[in-house]
């Protein structure tokens, strides 16, 4: 296991950092993401991807997902400084993992493949309705049509 640095594209001052380091396992040019990122768009926990770190700074600028894990990734941005504690507990009860980055009032939610799509979609809709801003950089839990 190693920390892998990703260079981030900043647009309108977001994200508030230029790089993010995440835990990965590596075999040659192939990696497996071992935690839920806060700012890397397009990768979820367990995804396998290929990339070549930059020769100068060692950061990854481009990657290609070669095997999706089935996990989804959501970000909760608490711009209104609302209490997220109860929502976090509900997400944990669904089988999700939640990490926080207090400096930016941000939470990263890993939604494992086994989590029920209808339940998690209903829950994230309730979180949004409560006033939290949400982003879904990787969402694989589409509810099936009845």
Render the burial of 63-96: b for 16+ CB within 10 Å, e for the rest. Answer: beeeeebbbbbbbbebeeeeebeebbeebeebeb
- CATH number of the domain residue 89 falls in: 3.30.70.2380
Q: Do 18 and 42 belong together in one domain? A: yes
Residue 8 and residue 62 in one domain: yes
Domain shared by 26 and 79, yes or no: no
How confident is the model over 67-74, as a mean pLDDT?
A: 96
Q: Within this chain, do residues 77 and 63 fall inside the same structural domain, yes or no? A: no
Same domain, 60 and 112: no
Whether 143 maps to a domain, the answer reads: no
- List pLDDT tens digits, range 122-141: 999 999 999 999 999 999 99
Average pLDDT over residues 90-98: 96
Domain assignment present for residue 144? The answer is no
Q: Look at residue 81 in the predicted model and tell me its pLDDT.
A: 84
Residues 132 and 82 in one domain: yes
- The pLDDT assigned to 144 comes to 54
Indicate if the pLDDT at residue 83 is higher than 60. yes
Proportion of the chain above pLDDT 90, given as a percent: 80
Whole-number Cα distances in Å, 102 to 50, 67, 99: 31, 31, 10
For residues 53 and 78, membership in a common domain is answered with no
Please tell me the total count of domains within the chain: 2
Distance in angstroms (rounded) separating the CA atoms of residues 41 and 48: 14
Residue 101: pLDDT over 80: yes
Calculate the average pLDDT of the chain.
92
- What does the pLDDT read at residue 146? 39
What tokens appear for 126 in the block?
């309730």
Residue ranges making up the domain that contains 102: 72-138
Burial zone of 33 (CB within 10 Å; 0-12 exposed, 13-18 middle, 19+ buried): buried
Residue 47 scores a pLDDT above 50: yes
User: pLDDT at position 79, please?
Assistant: 82
Phi-psi category of 24—alpha, beta or left, where left has phi over 0 and alpha has psi -120 to 50? beta
- Report the predicted TM-score, pTM, of the whole model to 2 decimal places: 0.90
pLDDT in tens, 15-38: 889 999 999 999 888 999 999 999
pLDDT at 29: 80
- Whether 19 and 52 map to the same domain: the answer is yes
Do 80 and 45 sit in the same domain of this protein? no
**Statement: residue 145 has pLDDT above 90:** no
């Amino acid at each position: 296991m190693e920390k892998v640095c990703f260079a981030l594209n900043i647009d309108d001052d977001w994200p508030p950092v230029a790089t993010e380091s995440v835990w990965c396992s590596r075999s040659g040019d192939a990696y497996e993401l071992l935690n839920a990122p806060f700012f890397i768009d397009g990768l979820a926990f367990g995804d396998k991807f290929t990339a070549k770190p930059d020769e100068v700074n060692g950061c990854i600028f481009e990657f290609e997902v070669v095997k999706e894990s089935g996990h989804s990734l959501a970000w909760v941005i608490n711009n209104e400084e609302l209490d997220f504690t109860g929502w976090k507990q509900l997400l944990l009860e669904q089988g999700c993992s939640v990490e926080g980055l207090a400096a930016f009032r941000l939470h990263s939610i890993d939604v494992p493949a086994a989590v029920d799509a209808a339940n998690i979609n209903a829950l994230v809709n309730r979180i949004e309705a409560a006033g939290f801003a949400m982003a879904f950089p990787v969402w694989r839990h589409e509810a099936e049509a009845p």
